[in-house]
């Protein structure tokens, strides 16, 4: 999937999603504040553990929707060799244009299921 064609993304979100797609943990981390928070289906998770364990393994295979503010992305998401799901990532950007919070959802019908622990 060519993330560069997704011109409607906020610049920080574009950089983060591009890094996720490339499996580039260092660039991914530079998009976030040192105290960035991760919420997985509303439950607080360890952002750095999520980054360590998932960047380079998980990635979007198709983006179906970008929120009008360019900070939310929904699409098909590759978890592992056996599973691809619909996921939604919502990036919260602070005044320094860095991501201070990431909300991640696994979408299944009308329900949200956590990505971690699958």
Q: Using DSSP, state whether 10 is helix, strand or coil.
A: coil
The pTM for the full model equals 0.85
User: How many domains does the chain divide into?
Assistant: 1
Query: Is there a domain that residue 118 lies in?
Result: no
Q: Is residue 76 assigned to a domain? A: yes
Contact (CB, 8 A) for 86 and 77: yes
Query: In a 3-state reduction of DSSP, which class is residue 117?
Result: coil
pLDDT, greater one: 7 or 72: 72
Closest CA to 105 of 41, 55, 44: 41
Report yes or no: 79 and 85 within 8 Å, Cβ to Cβ. Answer: yes
Per-residue model confidence as pLDDT tens digits over 64-108:
999 999 999 999 999 877 788 899 999 999 999 999 999 999 887
Per residue in 32-72, pLDDT (tens digit) is 999 999 999 999 999 999 999 999 999 999 999 999 999 99
Domain that holds residue 81: 3-113
Q: Is residue 83 part of a domain?
A: yes
- Residue 48: inside a domain: yes
Does 20 map to a domain?
A: yes
At 60, which CATH number?
Answer: 3.10.450.50
What is the distance between the alpha carbons of residues 96 and 117, in angstroms, rounded to a whole number? 32
| Chain-centroid distance, C-alpha 3 | 13
């Amino acid at each position: 999937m060519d993330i560069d064609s997704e011109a409607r993304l906020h610049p920080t979100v574009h950089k983060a999603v591009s890094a996720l797609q490339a499996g580039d943990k260092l660039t991914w981390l530079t998009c976030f504040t040192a105290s960035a928070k991760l919420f997985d289906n509303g439950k607080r998770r360890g952002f750095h553990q999520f980054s360590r364990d998932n960047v380079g393994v998980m990635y979007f295979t198709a983006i179906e929707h970008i929120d009008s503010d360019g900070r939310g992305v929904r699409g098909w998401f590759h978890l592992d060799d056996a599973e691809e799901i619909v996921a939604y990532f919502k990036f919260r950007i602070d005044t320094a244009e860095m991501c201070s919070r990431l909300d991640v959802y696994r979408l299944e019908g009308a329900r949200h299921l956590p990505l971690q622990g699958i």
